[in-house]
Structure formats: structure tokens, C-alpha cells
């Protein structure tokens, strides 16, 4: 028996089949060239964990894949995440692209539901095949709002993600699981929602009330190349020995370096003592060692995610002249008018539900979700009845969703829904 046990342990160590395996799910949930940084972050993350020994068969990448060969990209087939950085696009698996990117597909992939993926997409796709001895790393990068993470045309709600995590824990689909989440108000996906006994450790780019920040504006590409939190955790993984560094070590370094927002952590605190290598791969020889130019700190030109579209247009405006400058000025004026329309939309909703003077309170008040039903339906109605707002693609509009979330905590669901319907039908910009 002793010999058999020794042989099994040896085989486990050598093959990684009968013992712990590392799985990784990397998601860039946005589309559009102005969101270049999200896919750049995820492509870079792929190379970081691949170089640390996680094989392609246990890495799944979800990204729209419309950046590398975008007509706006002057360097076709090229995506960089740092100024003068390497091309991180080659070799990245295209497991799920374009219309594959939905919350439903993401959750099926995460839970290893291959049959569910096939039913949704009409084809087979890679899924996380983890079991009770395995560790799972999830890196999600995109826009977000209070209690939601975005995909190109829909949103993932905090309670849906939480229910999925609890299901995975009950079914023993992982030993431990780590989430690194880059999104505005990303802390709201977990704060006072995620229990501390599910063997899950989470760090987020921002707390539950603030924006995350993009960085590294590239005038040649006319876009931001990365996000501060994402750039910082990958820079750390590229220079540290991950077999020595703990999750808490990396969190503390990234939190100290990311002074643009409050990097936060949630879940099971004692998992912070585990090594980063347990989730990002344990190879050190041959691991990616690109060290960005530290003379250009990512916070030097950092911009809140909700203002990136404005900053890009302002930079284009200053770098142009003649008819081109006029074009950008017109686009900027249109964008500023859209923001006024969005704010007025939510002010009108508040006025139809309660005292209009309470708008400032509802847009900024702290929130503790007690029920997601009202909020989920309210978001659905805004998406359905006000397509002109382009909700899931507009970080400014997403930041205003706190108004609906706070109203919904008043237990007047149908009154709120009626107000959203009424205001949507009365707002000409909703159908634009």
C-alpha cells in the first residue's frame, strides 16, 4: 500500500493529472477601439500566465477580438499594453469572440458546463474542467457599474456571479479560486455579498463607489493602452518569484502602486497566504520578464474610465487641424450633450418616483443590496427602451445606475419601473 501511494504521488507530481491543476479564465468584456486597453490587458495576462507554465489547454480567453485588425489601429495585428511594449496579440487563443461574449456563456464556461455552451452557441467550446483539487484564476476586465460587470450587449449581475460561485463550491469544482477584477465600482460585485467561507479570494481595481483608471495614452494609436490596476499586477508578476510571493504580498504592492483608486480585496482572507504561483503558474525559468519603462509610471497620465472617451477626443482635437479638427470638436460636443441627456434622464426618473431634489443623494449614497429583482428589471427596461443611451458601452451612463439601485431599496419596484418607462418614452435621445 505504501509503495502504491508513493507511486501515485510521484505520478501526480510528474503529470499533473491526478493532482492539483491550474486553470485560468481571462475575459475582456468590451468591444470597440476606444476600449483597446481591455483586450490589451487580457492578451498581456495570457502571456504572463502561459510563461509561468499554465498550458493552453487550461487557459480560456474570451475577448471580442476587434482591436488588432481594427481600421483605427495603425499597426495591424499588433496590440501593446505598455509604451514601446511587445506585441501581446500573437499566440493568444481565440476561444470565444464576437457575439460569443455574453454573461450566460461566461458562467457556463466557468462552471465547466460544456453542454450548456453548446446549447447556447450551437458549437462546442472550451470550459473550465476543474475539480476538487484544482485552483482557478479568473481575470475579468471591462466596464462596470454598481453590482454589475459588462459584456458587449448585456450585464452580469452580482447575485448571478455569487450564485455561480456558491454552486461551484457546493459541487467541489475547485479547491481555491481567485478573481482579479478590473472595472469601475468592481468592489460592489463582492462587498457584503461574497461570503468568507467559499475558498474564494478577490482583488478589485476599485472599491464599490469609484471608477477604475485607464493609463498610457498612445498618440500614434490614439487610445489608452492599459488600465492601472491590471498593468500593476502584471508588472509585479513579471518581476517577482511567484513561488515565494503570496497573494497578499501582490495585493499590497498593487494597492500601494495604484494610487488612482482604492484596490480592494474580498472573500476568504486566509487564502492571502497562498503563493501567487498557485494561481498564475509556478514556473520561474523562462517566465515573461518584460519590465516596462519605470520612468513612465502608469498613474502619470491615468484617467478615470468614465472620462476616457472625452480625453481621447480632446487629445485628437489638440493634435489635429482644419476639417479633421472640426470633426473631433463636433464629436466632443455631441458626447458632452449625451452626458447632459443621460443625467437629465435619471433626474427625471427620480422626479417621477419621489422628490426631484433627492437626485444628488441617490446618485452618491452608499448601497447595500437587499434584493436584485427591482434593479435587474430597471436595467433591462433602460436597455430595452433607451437604446440611445448605449448603456453597457457607456461608462458615464453605467456610473449613474446607482440612482436606480438606491431607488430600488425603497421597495417601490413597480413605481420605479413605471418611471423608467415613462421617461424613456418621453426622451427623444433614447431612440437616437
Within 13 Å of residue 360, how many CA atoms lie on the same side as its CB?
1
- Apex 89 CA angle, 313 and 183, nearest 5: 55
Helical pair 228-239 and 36-51, crossing angle rounded to 10 deg? 20
SS3 of 116-149: the string is HHHHHHCCCCCCCCCCCCCEEEEEEECCEECCEE
Q: DSSP assignment, residue 408?
A: H
Catalytic-role residue among 22, 82, 143, 157: 143
- As a whole number of angstroms, the distance between CA 283 and CA 291 comes to 18
Q: Which of 411, 188, 205, 189 is nearest to 302 (CA)?
A: 205
Alpha-carbon torsion angle 15, 17, 21, 27, nearest 10: 110
A 10 A CB-CB count for 401 gives 23
- Annotated active-site residue in 150, 184, 215, 386: 184
Question: What is the chain's length?
Answer: 432
Could you tell me if 331 and 383 are in contact, meaning their C-beta atoms sit under 8 angstroms apart?
no
According to DSSP, residue 275 is labeled B
362-to-162, 352, 392 alpha-carbon distances in Å: 25, 14, 20
Establish whether 386 is a catalytic residue.
no
d(CA 179, CA 254): 15
Would you call 32 exposed, middle or buried from its count of C-beta atoms within 10 A (0-12, 13-18, 19+)? middle
Residues 6+ away with beta carbon under 8 Å from 233: 180, 203, 250, 254
Q: Residue 12 catalytic?
A: no
Active site residues per annotation: 143, 184
Amino acid at each position: 500500500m505504501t509503495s502504491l501511494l508513493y507511486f501515485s504521488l510521484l505520478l501526480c507530481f510528474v503529470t499533473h493529472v491526478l493532482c492539483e491543476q491550474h486553470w485560468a479564465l481571462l475575459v475582456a468584456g468590451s468591444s470597440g477601439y476606444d476600449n483597446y486597453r481591455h483586450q490589451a490587458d487580457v492578451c498581456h495576462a495570457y502571456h504572463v500566465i502561459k510563461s509561468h507554465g499554465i498550458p493552453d489547454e487550461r487557459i480560456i480567453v474570451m475577448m471580442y477580438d476587434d482591436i488588432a485588425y481594427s481600421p483605427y489601429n495603425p499597426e495591424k495585428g499588433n496590440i501593446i499594453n505598455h509604451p514601446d511594449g511587445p506585441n501581446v496579440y500573437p499566440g493568444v487563443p481565440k476561444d470565444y469572440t464576437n457575439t460569443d461574449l455574453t454573461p450566460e456563456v461566461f458562467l457556463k464556461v466557468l462552471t465547466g458546463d460544456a453542454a450548456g455552451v453548446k446549447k447556447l452557441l450551437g458549437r462546442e467550446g472550451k470550459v473550465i474542467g476543474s475539480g476538487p483539487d484544482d485552483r482557478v484564476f479568473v481575470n475579468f476586465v471591462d466596464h462596470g457599474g454598481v453590482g454589475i460587470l459588462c459584456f458587449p450587449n448585456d450585464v452580469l449581475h452580482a447575485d448571478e456571479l455569487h450564485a455561480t460561485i456558491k454552486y461551484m463550491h457546493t459541487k467541489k469544482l475547485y479547491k481555491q479560486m481567485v478573481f482579479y477584477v478590473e472595472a469601475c465600482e468592481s468592489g460592489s460585485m463582492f462587498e457584503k455579498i461574497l461570503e468568507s467561507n467559499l475558498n474564494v479570494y478577490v482583488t478589485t481595481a476599485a472599491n464599490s463607489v469609484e471608477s477604475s483608471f485607464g493609463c498610457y495614452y498612445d498618440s500614434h494609436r490614439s487610445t489608452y493602452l492599459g488600465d492601472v490596476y491590471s498593468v500593476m499586477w502584471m508588472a509585479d508578476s513579471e518581476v517577482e518569484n511567484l513561488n515565494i510571493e503570496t497573494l497578499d504580498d501582490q495585493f499590497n504592492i498593487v494597492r500601494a502602486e495604484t494610487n488612482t483608486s482604492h484596490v480592494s480585496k474580498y472573500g476568504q482572507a486566509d487564502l492571502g497566504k497562498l503563493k501567487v504561483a498557485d494561481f498564475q503558474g509556478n514556473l520561474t525559468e523562462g517566465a515573461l520578464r518584460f519590465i516596462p519603462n519605470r520612468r513612465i509610471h502608469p498613474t502619470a497620465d491615468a484617467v478615470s474610465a468614465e472620462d476616457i472617451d472625452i480625453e481621447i477626443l480632446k487629445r485628437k482635437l489638440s493634435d489635429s487641424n482644419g476639417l479633421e479638427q472640426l470633426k473631433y470638436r463636433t464629436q466632443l460636443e455631441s458626447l458632452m450633450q449625451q452626458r447632459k441627456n443621460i443625467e437629465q434622464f435619471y433626474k427625471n426618473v427620480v422626479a417621477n418616483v419621489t422628490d426631484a431634489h433627492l437626485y444628488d443623494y441617490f446618485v452618491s449614497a452608499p448601497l447595500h443590496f437587499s434584493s436584485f429583482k427591482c434593479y435587474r428589471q430597471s436595467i433591462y427596461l433602460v436597455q430595452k427602451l433607451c437604446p440611445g443611451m448605449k448603456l453597457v458601452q457607456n461608462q458615464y451612463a453605467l456610473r449613474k445606475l446607482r440612482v436606480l439601485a438606491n431607488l430600488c431599496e425603497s421597495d417601490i419596484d413597480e413605481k420605479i419601473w413605471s418611471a423608467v418607462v415613462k421617461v424613456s418614452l418621453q426622451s427623444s435621445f433614447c431612440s437616437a
